[in-house]
Structure 1
Amino acid sequence: MSSAASTPTPRVLLVEDDDLMRRSFTVALERYGYAMRSAADGLEGLELFREGGFDLLVLDVMLPGLDGIGLCRKVRETSLVPVLMMSARGDGLDVVAGLEAGADDYVVKPVDTYVLVARIRSLLRRATYAPVPGPEAGTRGAEPDGRLVFGDLTIDTGGLEVFVAGSPVALTPTELKLLLEFAAHPGIVLERHTLLRNVWDYGWDGDSRVVDLCVQRLRGKLGRDRIETVRGFGYKFRR
């Protein structure tokens, strides 16, 4: 059986109001092997999203009808699908708003196609792959069935499920991979650039706000005291 037959083509929804940019990105991403659908405004994008079946969303921030931030919030009400935001603003306000709304990553326009494809590939890998907890986790809290237990927090590394006090917690692929990275190194300070490399697959210096906002979302779901900020260095997962 060929790999094309065994591996489904990733379905990507692009929501971009600039006609030329939308068409050029759609054609370029199709050439890279993605099955594309596109929308010119947020409300149309929301309607297409609700049809289901997408593996990843690429949302422009400035959209008519319903902007990209609002669209991302609507998506997060029902779905953990990876979301990549595109922002034309250089002051960072859109970046922070998008990440707070639940986006996994962002790119700043104008963006080269190869950069966009690299971020999409990274997000899709993150959605289907989780790191194996390292030796630190193996000596602190590991159960025979592969679960990691830290107080009332349980991580099922096989089923990729997370529970707090016995109740399931819904995490995006990025949040889950970040948690697994922390759980693999309990009590060890992880610098932001290390997390950008290991979780976001950045091979160059990235924006540490991506890490900070994802940690903030993770704290909101797991408990504020679970992840400690070590000022000037990074973060540490409490044992």
Structure 2
Amino acid sequence: MREKILIVEDEEEIAMLEQDYLEINGFQTRIESDGEQAVELALTGEFDLILLDLMLPGKNGYDICREIRDKVDVPILMVTARTESIDKVLGLGLGADDYISKPFDPAELVARVKSHLNRYERLTKNGEPQNGTEGREKDVIKIDGIEIHTRSWKVFRDGEEIRFPNREFELLKFLAMNPNIVFSKEELFEKIWGYDYVGDSVTVTVHINRIREKIEEDSKNPKIIETVWGAGYRLNR
């Protein structure tokens, strides 16, 4: 079955351009221009990835991302003409996986979509828990009340499950599987996102902050994921 992309965009010319290039490359697409309707569609679970414009009638892209992020695990790529760093930080802080600015090269957009879908598939395709206690134990990383189930793609804090979008989970999992090692923002970006674009440091920082809010007792004074000033981040275990 072909992967299905939800294009949330109110500029018809841009929406059609995105649709044409994605369908040429083998994807199914659906275009929605209204923010309220976009939320309803996103929550159906029919889509493998969401391309989300920021400036929309009804609800803007920030509101949509905030409303669906913890209910929908698929990649969300924000597409916008606004290029200020604060806009990017806000979008990523709400759980968007990536950010591409207008005007964009359609080939780059398709490449980004493919990259996110490929990584999402690799992360989730073996997501069913193994049978037997021995298998489960090997797939669980425990850190100060936090349990990271690497195969079932779940995180628990004191026995209660915490929802993690795919990029946040992949970043937490990587750090947990490489404890007590300092990784620079650039190294983490390369390991988790796998390609270069302007603003990669911001992307890593925002995702680290979102993870801390979920697993640290005090996210402003983190003990599990520590900032090593001038060097990067380290997960203490």
TM-score where L is the length of structure 2:
0.87
* C-alpha distance in structure 1 between counterparts of 2:139 and 2:44, whole Å: 36
151, 158, 161: which one pairs with 1:158?
A: 151
Corresponding position of 2:55? 62
78, 82, 86: which one pairs with 2:75?
A: 82
Corresponding position of 2:225? 227
Corresponding position of 1:35? 28
The structural deviation recorded for 1:98 is: 0.8
The structural deviation recorded for 1:26 is: 0.4
Corresponding position of 1:216? 209
The 1:108–1:157 alpha-carbon spacing in structure 2 relative to 1, beyond 3 Å, is same
Aligned positions of 1:37-52 closer than 5 A? 37-52=30-45
* C-alpha distance in structure 2 between counterparts of 1:51 and 1:204, whole Å: 31
Corresponding position of 1:10? 3
Say how many residue pairs are matched: 222
What is the percent sequence identity of the aligned residues?
Answer: 36
Verify the 8 A CA contact 1:9 1:34 in the aligned structure 2. Answer: yes
* C-alpha distance in structure 2 between counterparts of 1:92 and 1:62, whole Å: 16
The structural deviation recorded for 1:32 is: 0.9
* C-alpha distance in structure 2 between counterparts of 1:113 and 1:40, whole Å: 19
The structural deviation recorded for 1:77 is: 4.4
The 1:65–1:204 alpha-carbon spacing in structure 2 relative to 1, beyond 3 Å, is closer
The 1:14–1:143 alpha-carbon spacing in structure 2 relative to 1, beyond 3 Å, is closer
Say which SS state the counterpart of residue 84 (structure 2) adopts.
coil
* C-alpha distance in structure 1 between counterparts of 2:136 and 2:39, whole Å: 42
Letter in 2 for 1:98: G
* C-alpha distance in structure 2 between counterparts of 1:59 and 1:208, whole Å: 22
The structural deviation recorded for 1:35 is: 0.9
Matched, 1:147 2:140: yes
Verify the 8 A CA contact 2:45 2:72 in the aligned structure 1. Answer: no
94, 103, 115: which one pairs with 1:122?
A: 115
- Show structure 2 runs of 5+ residues with no match: 125-134
Verify the 8 A CA contact 1:143 1:149 in the aligned structure 2. Answer: no
Matched, 1:91 2:84: yes
Matched, 1:184 2:177: yes
Letter in 2 for 1:217: R
1:32-91 per-position Cα deviation (integer Å, ceiling 9, x unaligned): 111101111212312322333111111011112211111111112422221100121222
Corresponding position of 1:167? 160
Verify the 8 A CA contact 1:148 1:155 in the aligned structure 2. Answer: yes
Verify the 8 A CA contact 2:19 2:29 in the aligned structure 1. Answer: yes
TM-score where L is the length of structure 1:
0.86
The 1:74–1:175 alpha-carbon spacing in structure 2 relative to 1, beyond 3 Å, is same
Corresponding position of 2:130? none
Verify the 8 A CA contact 2:142 2:148 in the aligned structure 1. Answer: yes
